[in-house]
Chains A and B, each alone.
Chain A
Amino acid sequence: MSDDEINMDDSAESDQGEEDECLSEDDGIALESHDPNASEYRENAEPDNEVLNHDQLEAEMKKTIADVQAVLQVKSGTCRILLHKYKWNKESLLERFYEHPDTNAFLIDAQVIPRHTEKLPCGESECDICCMVSELSGLACNHRACTPCWRSYLTNKILDGAQSEIECMAANCKLLIEDEKVMFYITDPAIIASYRRLIVASYVETNRLLKWCPGVDCGKAVRVNHCEPRLVVCSCGSRFCFSCGNDWHEPVNCRLLKLWMKKCSDDSETSNWINANTKECPKCMITIEKDGGCNHMTCKNTTCRFEFCWMCLGPWEPHGSSWYNCNRFDDTVAKTARDAQELSRANLQRYLFYYNRYMGHQQSLRLEGKLYATVKSKMEQMQTLSMSWIEVQFLRKAVDILSECRRTLMFTYAFAFYLRRDNNSIIFETNQKDLEMETEQLSGFLERDLETENLVTLKQKVQDKYRYVEHRRRILLDHCSEGAEQDLWQFNE
């Protein structure tokens, strides 16, 4: 077992919560018995995603490459470029490969073998790049340069361009350089390491079933079986939405959440700057800053590379002939923006209503962190009175459920903000009201002073309450997801 795997197992355990620590202080054996027990309710919701570290990703990537290589019979570096082009979907690559009548033409189209090969004499001659006479070498296209020039070129592309797919150095030669060549020219281990990281990064970023964990300094990726918005959990403890990388935000969907978060941060300087200086790529929605003069934009996201017009955000293609349509379109955009502004002013009161509640729950959710500590001491206290360790675990579970409810409630306000009023929205609001009321009651129980209560009655009350609250939460979420499936929700954006 490698170090990494050991680390992973460790962190998987600590994922269960801070209480592990408090328990191990006084009772080491209990640790094992409590673990499955404590996460009982979570297990239903616990996602079945896989967590992979850098080495595992690399190994997995190599395996896919080897599979393809066995069929295509080309270098593994070439296979990697091909797989990258097909977003690491092995089946679709092989399908295309078999469909294509001419293997050579297929490889030329994929920019892995040259269209033209220039015949050149071997031996020493003058390098076109640095103008010095030395031994020249090059790619299959026979565009040649001396080794130091290749090294500088590749280093520059890797460090500054952060590219893992690098084109030949010659002008207008689109041949992609296979990994073997890159490794051949680059000798500095630090740069080789960067290149390997880039390869793995491009593997994760182009693969629809993989996503980097957003946790600070985590560096692991999670894998799912289907690409959809869902809760995933990393071994570092981060819980996030697979689709957008934010905190898990059921019932609101990713698109509305993004709108909401943007709206919420409208007041801050950063978001003012973002609004003034960036737009989103119309295809992949990544935020883009314009750093050059002309309006012909190319998205820098490796998987996207969409070319579009900065003015109208439409594809660039038709602009070759009708750029001036954009001038006129610009007026409409400005007008829409002005209208939207007026609308948002009129809606400000409404927005603040939802925002305050959203932030209120967020604040409470943060404070539940403290509650864990309080509850821990209460649990110790109760054990000194009359209860056994196992009997006091209900308190911890109550806080777990309370936190989940807070999170859900928080996002219901983002959902509600965009929701258009109709009969379904009234049902939703009733569910929301119910959940909120019950959550506050549960919160109240947990903050109450324990000594004044009969412990058995308290336990009974808390357990009843959290079961009921969790049940209400489930009902609300089910109602929301059913509505989404049947397209019942109407949103105002």
Chain B
Amino acid sequence: MSNIALNRLQRECKEVVTNSEVSETGIMIEILNENLTEIKGHIRGPPDTPYAGGMFDLDIKIPEAYPFSPPNASLEAVKFTTKIWHPNVSSQTGVICLDILKDQWAASLTLRTVLLSIQALMCSPEPKDPQDAVVAKQYMDKPQVFKDTAAFWTLKFANGTVPVNAEYQNRVDKLKDMGVREEEAISVLSCNNWDLNRATVYIFS
């Protein structure tokens, strides 16, 4: 990696860490290797959203030409490693659809702005420009189901603490009794608006 990128990243990491932003904004950066090409980001679920109380992890791969090409220059370079139910994030892979990660990237943006933008996206999803069409459809057609589902995912995958719809857990347990892995059960039920029959048909057909 070039000197510019190294300098920049060292400064950026310091910026996030020293600003005591962890408590203020709930974003954090963790450096995985010495040459700073792999970085882990953490975002606390913003309050008053279904993600509240959860801690979401992201993988960030820094491209060779950083900061002149965006962190997302190659596909999937910034993605959630924590499973999350969100219209602009793939529920399968965690890939994020966000303009500043692609064509709207500018060299003056930083990892901090990226994480803050992702956090803002968690507060206000954009279902009209979706990454996961199934989630987006649910968000548009059944807002309450979406909220409950997103909260359920937060509890299950992001160490959430907020109590959720108990019926959902029942249905997951029923599928588990049939020998389905919990993660798959949650995913299929979520995609089928928690209709147990349809989920069963989907899994076993």
Contact = CB atoms under 8 A, between A and B. Distances in A.
Contacts of A132: 7
Contacts of B23: none
Contacts of B107: 129, 145, 149, 153, 169
Nearest to B105: A171
Contact of A323 (B97, B104, B128): B128
A144 B73 CA distance: 24
A171 B117 CA distance: 14
Given A131-B7, A294-B129, A327 B69 contact: no
Interface stretch (B33-41, B130-138, B179-187): B130-138
Contacts of A324: 137, 140
B176 interface: no
B109 interface: yes
Interface in A261-314: 291-296, 298
Contacts of A149: 4, 107
A160 B65 contact: yes
Contact of A160 (B69, B100, B140): B69
Contact of A130 (B4, B103, B109, B129): B4
Contacts of B67: 129
A323 B130 contact: yes
Interface residues of A, number: 32
Nearest to B140: A324
Per DSSP, are chain B's interface residues mostly helix, strand or loop, or mixed?
loop
Interface in A117-153: 128-132, 143, 145, 148-149, 152-153
B8 A298 contact: no
A182 to B, nearest CB: 14
- Which among B8, B102, B103, B131 has the highest number of chain A CB atoms within 10 Å? B8
Interface string B105-144: 0111100000000000000000111110100110010000
B2 interface: yes
A321 interface: yes
A296 B68 contact: no
A153 B100 CA distance: 17
A98 B131 CA distance: 46
Nearest to A319: B128
Contacts of B136: 323
A225 interface: no
A153 B130 CA distance: 30
A189 interface: no
B8 A294 contact: no
A152 B7 contact: no
A148 B108 contact: no
Given A128-B108, A170-B106, A156 B69 contact: yes
A130 B8 contact: yes
Interface in B132-170: 133, 136-137, 140
Given A129-B4, A130-B4, A293-B95, 15 more contacts: A131-B7, A143-B108, A156-B68, A157-B68, A170-B106, A171-B100, A171-B104, A171-B106, A293-B90, A293-B131, A294-B97, A323-B127, A323-B130, A323-B136, A324-B137
